Amino acid sequence: MAQLHETEHRECDVLVVGAGGAGLRAAIEAMRRGLRTCVVTKSLLGKAHTVMAEGGIAAAMGNVHPEDSWQVHFRDTMRGGKMLNNYRMAELHAKESPDRVEELEAWGALFDRTEDGRILQRDFGGHRFARLAHVGDRTGLEMIRTLQQKAVSMGVDVAMECKVLRLLTDADGAISGCVAYHRPSGGFLTFSAPAVVLATGGVGKSWKYTSNSWESTGDGHALALWAGGELIDMEAVQFHPTGMVWPLSVRGLLVTESVRGDGGVLRNADGERFMFKYVAEMFRAETAETEEEGDRWYDDHAAGRRPPELLPRDEVARAINAEVKAGRGSPHGGVFLDIASRRSAEYIKRRLPSMYHQFMELAGVDITRTPMEIGPTCHYIMGGVRVDADTAATCVPGLFAAGEVAGGMHGSNRLGGNSLSDLLVFGRRAGTGAADYVSGGRGVAPLDGTAVDAAVEEAIAPFSRDAGESPYEVQHDLQDLMQTNVGIIRTGTELTDALTALDALAARVANLSVRGGRAYNPGWNLATDLPSMLTVSRCTTLGAINRTESRGGHTREDYPSPDAELGKVNFVHSQPSGGGYREEIKTVPEPILEMPGELHSLFEDPT
């Protein structure tokens, strides 16, 4: 069909949506293969959410603990994810992340060093050995700048400040391109590309207290679902245990896990190190029983077992939540994270410079003298687009996904440090997967003009409604709803109520009005983000209703224990009768990928 709305048109072989770690790494790989590659990003280049990552990149390089190996990293990752992970992704990730870190170094990253000049690695929650390659507490910045500079040196083509509205498919359901708009001008664009790599990151902006930026609206999750893809494990949302709680305006802002990795401890209002009370059976054998034992471990991992502050994030977040609920919280509704009484001011400033700066400037708190007030914050979604581990291919021909938008790698809970390595390992694999697909003879095909027009018309509709609602109000209510009903602790009735409320919110999204023109209009931009936010929120709620157990980042008050049978399935969401934020979502359980025997044997040793 002929297209009625005029758009600027571009063509390439591989279109990468998102310019964070995964997107840039995918683009680099596609360019290395000599393919015409274009990166589309909602922000400026180098500003993606990867920049916020603080602690480090997990990779079993063994620079600090030579006994570390991919097998141990694999085992930690699977246990952290409560065995819901796609084992093959966890395996590839553990095997390949050391190479990906060294590659970054060859591209100019300046990691902190060991005494003998190698890449230094630090301790983190859930990792048996010190494994995180890092640069102080600004590892994400180092990673994104390195990838950005590498991609620019290769002549990458980046469409900055562009938002993708819809993926386009041909008559056979294979990817043909996408419709987008350019935020500075408000002009529409179409891209023809046989392969699209989704690398759009997370969904946190649908919650009220989040460490995520405005960009994390689940665009890639929604684009994939609408185009015929499947989402899995959407109920698995990670609430990072340590976000700032005061001042209110920065509530949710991340406080790196490195504070605990470098010696910080959690205390309640009574000054008690409460984490010792919350050690789950699964982790008891490897966790210290007394404060003295935990403290010995920092200096010598053989002299004691790890302190419980370094349990996986889901365990710590639930414990903090329980302490606050029991009335032992800090003045602003969190608990205390104390490194001031445990490490010298000089050490804290050297190891945690951005945390020092962040608390000093935003809260007026000197963390070298005073404990921080912290509480859980919506941080990461483990669930995402269902992909093939080796190629990052989705079930839609030509569509690939990598990084936070992809599901499976982290199971029901992600270990700190595993996201940056995930971006590198699967970003590269998505680039290779897309390049192989294109090299297999897929070329640029004409776009479906009707679908382009429909996407454009849906996007501009809010301008022609006079009496509709402000997108900010709908976003505010969505965030309130998700925080209250689909937050860190969930119950069946609240989730069912949320589903009804989400339908009502979707009806309000269909009746938004926007003031002003299309050029750099944040109100309009938000109106175009809300359909994705609604879509992923519905999937998260549906997954949470179906998963009648507690596992990793998903905690049901009415089903407080894990259920062995549910541990064998993923809940898979799809839209068989047409993609859209108001269309029906089908949710079915499907068996998880079965782990081969030789990997199973890694879990037999109880320590």
Instruction: Name the site residues for other proteins (rule: CB under 8 A).
Output: 28, 31-32, 43-49, 51-52, 102, 105-108, 110, 112-113, 116-119, 135-136, 138, 140-142, 145, 149-150, 152-155, 160, 184, 213-215, 246-250, 253-254, 354, 357-358, 361-363, 470-473, 476, 514-517, 519-524
Query: Is 240 an active-site residue?
Result: yes
Specify burial of residue 160 (Cβ count, 10 A radius: 0-12, 13-18, 19+): middle
Q: Which is nearer to other proteins, 234 or 254 (CB)?
A: 254
| Residue ranges with strand state E in 359-457 | 372-381, 384-385, 399-401
Active-site residue (options: 251, 260, 490, 518): 260
Residue 166 or 183: which CB sits closer to other proteins? 183
State the Cα–Cα distance between residues 144 and 255, nearest whole angstrom.
19
State the minimum distance, in angstroms, from the CB of residue 355 to other proteins: 10
Please, are residues 127 and 133 in contact by the beta-carbon 8 Å criterion? Answer: no
Which CB atom, from 87 or from 181, has the smaller least distance to other proteins?
181
Q: CA 275, CA 354: separation in Å to the nearest integer?
A: 26
| Cβ-based nearer residue to other proteins, 58 or 592 | 58
Three-state SS letters, 109-174: CCCCECCCCCECEECCCCCCCCCEECCCCCHHHHHHHHHHHHHHHCCCEEECCEEEEEEEECCCCC
Cα separation, 320 vs 558, whole angstroms: 19
CB of 244 to other proteins, least distance (A): 9
Q: State the catalytic residue, choosing from 93, 240, 490, 547.
A: 240
Q: CB-based contacts of 139: which residues, under 8 Å, 6+ apart?
A: 53, 54, 55, 56, 57, 132, 133, 420
Separation between Cα atoms, residue 58 and residue 93, nearest integer Å: 10
Q: What is the sign of the dihedral through the CA atoms of 41, 44, 45 and 49?
A: negative
Count of beta carbons in the 10 Å neighbourhood of residue 560: 10
Check: CB of residue 419 under 8 Å from CB of residue 404: yes
Q: How far apart are CB 218 and other proteins at their closest, in Å?
A: 16
For residue 480, give every residue at least 6 positions away whose Cβ sits within 8 Å of its Cβ, in sequence order, or none: 208
Q: Which residue has the tokens 């982790």?
A: 283
In the complex, what is the shortest distance from the CB of residue 329 to other proteins, in angstroms, rounded to a whole number?
Answer: 19
Please say if 49 is a catalytic residue.
no
Q: How far is the CB of 479 from other proteins (least distance, A)?
A: 12
As measured in angstroms, the least distance from the Cβ of 288 to other proteins is: 30
Distance CA(335)–CA(268), nearest Å, equals 5
Q: Which amino acid, 91?
A: E
Name the minimum Å distance from CB 111 to other proteins.
Answer: 8
Nearer to other proteins, 484 or 521 (CB): 521
Tell me the closest approach of the beta carbon of residue 514 to other proteins, in angstroms. 7
Residue placing its CB nearer to other proteins in the complex, 254 or 396: 254
DSSP sequence for 364-381: ---TTTSPEEEEEEEEEE
Nearer to other proteins, 116 or 172 (CB): 116
By beta-carbon proximity to other proteins, the closer residue of 372 and 409 is 372
Please state whether the peptide bond connecting residue 247 to the residue before it is cis, i.e. omega within 30 degrees of 0.
yes
Residues 6+ apart with CB under 8 A from 365: 359, 372
Q: Which residues are annotated as catalytic?
A: 240, 260
